[in-house]
Structure 1
Amino acid sequence: MTILVAVADDPMRERVLDVGLDLGRGLGQDLYVLHLVNETSADSDARRIRDEVREYVTGADVAVTVSVEQISHTGARSGPRTAQELLDAAADVHISHIVMGHTSKGLLGNLKDGSTAFAVADSAEIPVTIVPSMDQ
């Protein structure tokens, strides 16, 4: 099976990748690194993130596939909606474990947008590892 590692364009990306690589080694599983975008085609920022992730995992002792996928809905990306996109991708790729980061948005932010990480953990039927930010 495969571990899905969800990454974003944020300071947590390398920590999340490191946890994913460690789990991949320890469990003997491949990694599927996923970055979700709103655009219908990968824009320059998405391509930059994809290329940075590929460079970061070059030489890793586990097999890594890096993907940029479009979110299928329009409008604002709420935590629960993004969580569903991650869970749909996990089902499509036969994922056995999900690794993702979490940075607290505070009470107001969580009430307004919800938490993607907690929504994934709540709905997933597979193990989810949530990597907290250093300041939490």
Structure 2
Amino acid sequence: MAVTASRRARNAAAGARLQGAESDDEFIFEAGNMIKNLMVGVDGSAQASKAFEHALTLAQWSGAELHAVAVIHGPDIEMAESPEREQLVERARARLQEVLDSLKSTAAEVDIKLETHLLEGHPVEQLLELAWQKSVDHLVLGHRSKGLFERLLMGSVAKRVVDFARCTVTVVR
């Protein structure tokens, strides 16, 4: 009884009841279809893995298209054109492509089609630009717990995406 009352309260807070919904579960599922395009930022970290798991669950629940995005970026990669820069970029590209391929396999195991994107540049700019291009309505990111110095120097990608995104953003801890 308490679970049903709780669901009804959440559904009432979320908006009007859908016409023809025979149960609260059906209402919750139907409301989930509002997510059409879902994007998750990944980088191979444990936090990004948690974000991917969350995004995969949302995609299963909502039937949304799922995009995974990895961005090659770092202070060393921003240096002027040089053989060292090219080697760093190629190593980062290979590592991130392995991450994306692994995620694609994981998604396929649960019958979710995953479109992957490997971009180069500033992560905030790249994530926001692709989200806009793909008409993403929900973006999922992992939370990074950087030290105080790193946060002051570089800022948080998740925080800046939350500040500037035109869509719903979920930050997974």
Counterpart contact for 2:55–2:140, Cα < 8 Å: yes
1:78-117 CA-partner distances (Å, limit 9, x unpaired): xxx4212210011111111100101211222111110000
1:13-45 CA-partner distances (Å, limit 9, x unpaired): 321111001111222211011111244897321
Report the counterpart of residue 5 of structure 1 in structure 2.
40
Report the counterpart of residue 165 of structure 2 in structure 1.
124
Report the counterpart of residue 14 of structure 2 in structure 1.
none
Question: Which residue of the other structure, out of 59, 72, 75, is the alignment partner of 1:37?
Answer: 72
Question: Which residue of the other structure, out of 134, 150, 156, is the alignment partner of 1:93?
Answer: 134
Give unpaired runs (5+ residues) of structure 1. 72-80
Counterparts of 2:59 and 2:97, CA distance in 1: 24
Between 1 and 2, higher relative CO (CA 8 Å, sep ≥ 6) is seen in: 1
TM-score by length of 1: 0.80
How many correspondences in the alignment?
Answer: 123
Q: 1:19 and 2:54 equivalent?
A: yes
* Range with bigger deviation, 21-30 or 93-102: 21-30
Counterpart contact for 1:40–1:70, Cα < 8 Å: no
1:34-72 CA-partner distances (Å, limit 9, x unpaired): 11124489732122222222222222233321221222x
Q: Which structure has the highest strand share of the two?
A: 1
Give the residue type in structure 1 aligned to 2:147: G
Give unpaired runs (5+ residues) of structure 2. 1-35, 74-88
Report the counterpart of residue 148 of structure 2 in structure 1.
107
Q: How does 1:21-100 map to 2 (within 5 A)?
A: 21-38=56-73, 39=89, 43-71=93-121, 81-100=122-141
TM-score by length of 2: 0.64
Which has the greater radius of gyration?
2
Give aligned-pair identity as a percent. 24
Counterparts of 2:65 and 2:91, CA distance in 1: 26
